[in-house]
Amino acid sequence: PNPAASLSSSFKPRSSSSLKCFVGFRATGSFGSKLVSSSSLSLTNNHLLKGSLVLRCSLADGNGSSVKRTTLHDLYEKEGQSPWYDNLCRPVTDLLPLIASGVRGVTSNPAIFQKAISSSNAYNDQFRELVQSGKDIESAYWELVVKDIQDACKLFEPIYDQTDGGDGYVSVEVSPRLADDTEGTIEAAKYLHKVVDCPNVYIKIPATAPCIPSIKEVISKGISVNVTLIFSLARYEAVIDAYLDGLEASGLSDLSRVTSVASFFVSRVDTLIDKMLEKIGTPEALDLRGKAAVAQAALAYQLYQKKFSGPRWEALVKKG
């Protein structure tokens, strides 16, 4: 197991009519599973309602062979937490044994694809064809990415279908060059949503100040969003408001397929505060090391419960 694996626990309202909305708390720690190597594993908490279908990926792998149960199955079936794999590369079919072992979704980012493309020859043929056809490097890169995302979406589509859109998502992130570009982020999200053309794709948008309006606009277009790089409670609240504003502005009569994930990076804050505590050096300060992430996660969840309740939320719940 990788002791630096990244974990994310997300929470969903316990109501049969609730919109599918999640908050993720990312922290570092060991994870007792052979699935975690140099890549990280995310968990989304998705408590099932009584009578809901539980997909038991442990019964067979992609070839129909029996697969041993793992901790990931227990996390989902007993705790309602959905493990997501934070990595993607070719061949995408390498995900099949992970799915059989309990992984229920995938996230990606530009750094993951940079590593995948630069360290593997699996992309060479398609990349060569794209460049020879006149594609510039960036356009060729996005075609490589889109193919991987589409292929991964197909692999997770059975989970998406069997959970009625509650799980089985694959995330693709807009270009980091757009972190300060509101309109550019909107257009990029719309483009990726269109070209990937899969119901179980999340478009990842960073929670920078210029991208908060982008989140509202993209949600209002009926596009599901994974908001990443959230570090503070204030920014998390701004993300929630953008999500709610987008739902209200959508004009859609059925909001059941417009979902969102908020990825809250508590581990980064914890690491920074630990360094500050070590500089203080008192026994009291040193005793607080490693506790900031838990405290921030608890406060974020309290905010989540507050924002996703009351008249405004209930009005949206009635639409799906």
Residue 26 covered by a domain:
yes
Does the structure show a pLDDT above 80 at 287?
yes
What pLDDT sits at residue 8? Answer: 35
Total tally of structural domains belonging to the chain: 1
What digits encode the pLDDT tens for the residues 109-159? 999 999 999 999 999 999 999 999 999 999 999 999 999 999 999 999 999
**Alpha helices, DSSP H only, in 85-136?**
95-100, 110-119, 124-132
What digits encode the pLDDT tens for the residues 170-229? 999 999 999 999 999 999 999 999 999 999 999 999 999 999 999 999 999 999 999 999
Specify the CATH number for the domain of residue 233.
Answer: 3.20.20.70
Residue 173 covered by a domain:
yes
What pLDDT sits at residue 320? Answer: 86
Residue 150 covered by a domain:
yes
Does the structure show a pLDDT above 90 at 27?
no
Q: 12, 20, 204, 216: which one is catalytic?
A: 204
What pLDDT sits at residue 21? Answer: 46
* 50 flagged as catalytic: no
Query: Distance between CA 287 and CA 156 in Å, rounded?
Result: 43
Residue 300 covered by a domain:
yes
Name the residue among 140, 167, 169, 165 with its Cα closest to residue 152: 169
Residue 144 covered by a domain:
yes
Average of per-residue pLDDT across 293-319: 96
User: At which residue do the structure tokens 């980091």 appear?
Assistant: 176
Average of per-residue pLDDT across 4-16: 34
Least confident of 40-54, 183-197, 251-265: 40-54
How long a stretch of residues is the chain? Answer: 320
What pLDDT sits at residue 64? Answer: 52
What pLDDT sits at residue 7? Answer: 32
Question: Nearest-5° angle of CA 142, CA 129, CA 133?
Answer: 85
Exposure b/e, 134-167, CB count within 10 A at least 16 = b: eeeeeebbbebbbebbbbbbebbeebbeebebbb
| pTM of the full structure | 0.80
Q: Which domain holds residue 46?
A: 6-317
Does the structure show a pLDDT above 50 at 59?
no
What pLDDT sits at residue 195? Answer: 98
Residue 312 covered by a domain:
yes
Residue 167 has which token pair?
A: 């799980």
Least confident of 56-60, 117-121, 297-301: 56-60
Does the structure show a pLDDT above 60 at 32?
no
Residue 1 covered by a domain:
no
Residue 137 covered by a domain:
yes
Question: 285 to each of 77, 220, 231, 289, 302, how far by Cα in Å?
Answer: 39, 45, 22, 7, 25
